[in-house]
Amino acid sequence: MPTTNEKIRDALLRYFHFVETLTDRQLRQLEKVLMESVNDINDQITRLGLAGTNLNVWERTRLLTLREEIEKVLVATTFRMSDQIEDNFRQIAFTMTDEVNNILRASIPKDLIVMFNAVPLAQVIEFIDAPTGGLLWRDRMIQRYKSLLIPMDNIISRGIMQGWSVPQMVKEFKTLVGNEWKKGSWEQIIRTEVVRIGNAVNLATYKQNSDIIKGVQWLATLDFKTCFVCASLDGKFWELGTFDLYIPAHPRCRCILTPVTKSWRELGFDVDELPPGTRASMNGQVPSTMNYNQWFGTQSAFFQRNWLGNKRYELWKNGKLEFEDFLDSKKLLKQPK
């Protein structure tokens, strides 16, 4: 029989996994919007009739016009994507707010009559626009589109000098935009923000309900992609008032904060546990979980060596370095107050 805290943890993990599949779908839609911008660029080149000509003074002027038009297309595309992303973030934040409350309500024994306080929607909206590492996600998106401008310029110049046809020039743009998407920077922005917003909503909910929630536990994903920092934080517990780390800990961090509820005694009942029955235990203990350190110990030597790198692996294997030593605390951001 899982304890209350284990039930909450498992439900939250399941829910974050579900959000990840929603994000996958969102990313496919965004890729489509970005690729569609190539059609608009096509229209601009065709309208200006620039490809396949030799440059004279007039055409140079039109060339500048084309640059401007392409930049406009990219700006419009970035705004279109931002609008879609914002809708998606709102949906995630609002449903996360409901869901974390539902999870708490469903996991805590019915004997305990509590009113859960949801985070006010105005505060939830603020989470969407909080900066990550000093920059808002919208600004990061603008940086992405700007990074396309110079290679766009090069294509236009080369195309006109070499007398490319319109389809040829458009093909080059398509490759450029496609490669930009494949680099994964847009995806990285979105995945990181989803984790940030989800955790911000949850942490605020725990604080809102500090009469029954006493702290948080850090949960990292147990796989090869987990970084040293998150692996070392996995399973750690903080009292609500003392948790001051920034989560996500880094771009593409997939960690989540799960709440730890008080025990019956901490809640003021003169019992260690209610009579055993169908009720989940409410022992106030941090859920027992296989943390990254323990899980790592069960992996193959091949995996361990690859994850740690040769030097660290030898040190760890010979007991000269503890798993915890891989944590570089300087890499952790503190939460803005």
Cβ atoms of 59 and 50 closer than 8 Å: yes
Q: How far is the CB of 20 from Zn ion (least distance, A)?
A: 14
Shorter beta-carbon distance to Zn ion: residue 27 or 332? 332
CA distance 49 to 192: 42
Instruction: Show Cβ contacts of residue 197 under 8 Å, excluding neighbours closer than 6 positions.
Output: 89, 92, 93, 96, 127, 128
The strand pair at 213-219 and 256-261 is best described as antiparallel
Which residues from 235-264 bind Zn ion, rule CB under 5 A?
A: 249, 253, 255
CB of 223 to Zn ion, least distance (A): 11
Nearer to Zn ion, 174 or 252 (CB): 252
Residue 86: CB minimum distance to Zn ion, A? 24
Residue number with CB closer to Zn ion (173 or 218): 218
**Residue with smaller CB distance to Zn ion, 66 or 249:** 249
Rounded Cα gap, residues 196 and 190, in angstroms: 10
Instruction: Let me know: does 261 contact 5? Beta carbons within 8 Å.
Output: yes
For the chain, what's the residue count?
Answer: 337
Q: How far is CA 153 from each of CA 43, 46, 172, 209, rounded to the nearest angstrom?
A: 17, 17, 11, 55
Q: Which residues in the 153-192 window bind Zn ion by CB under 5 A?
A: none
CA of 193: how far to CAs of 23, 46, 188, 197, 302, in Å? 11, 38, 8, 6, 33
Tell me how far, at minimum, the Cβ of 235 lies from Zn ion, in Å: 13
Mark residues 198-237: x for contact with Zn ion by CB under 5 A, - for none. Answer: --------------------------------x-------
Which is nearer to Zn ion, 2 or 251 (by Cβ)? Answer: 251
Choose between 152 and 255: whose C-beta lies nearer to Zn ion.
255
Minimum CB separation from Zn ion for residue 226, in Å? 7
The distance of closest approach from Cβ of residue 96 to Zn ion in the complex, given in angstroms and rounded to an integer, is 18
If the CB atoms of residues 128 and 253 are measured against Zn ion, the closer one turns out to be: 253
| Tokens 């350190």, located at residue | 293
* Per rule CB under 5 A, count of chain residues that contact Zn ion: 4
Q: How far is the CB of 257 from Zn ion (least distance, A)?
A: 11
Residue 128 is a binding residue for Zn ion (CB under 5 A): no
For the bound state, the minimum distance from the C-beta of residue 195 to Zn ion, rounded and expressed in Å, comes to 8
DSSP 264-314: TTTTT-S-SSPPSSSSPP-B-PPPP---HHHHHHTS-HHHHHHHH-HHHHH
Q: Give me the 278-307 binding string for Zn ion, x by CB under 5 A, dash otherwise.
A: ------------------------------
Angle at the Cα of 218 from the Cα atoms of 121 and 115, rounded to 5 degrees: 40
Is there a contact between 247 and 133 (Cβ–Cβ < 8 Å)? no
**16-75 residues near Zn ion, rule: CB under 5 A:** none
Give the span between the Cα atoms of 313 and 302, in whole angstroms.
10
Instruction: CB nearer to Zn ion: give 109 or 251.
Output: 251
CB distance 166 to 46 below 8 Å: yes
State the residues that interact with Zn ion by CB under 5 A: 230, 249, 253, 255
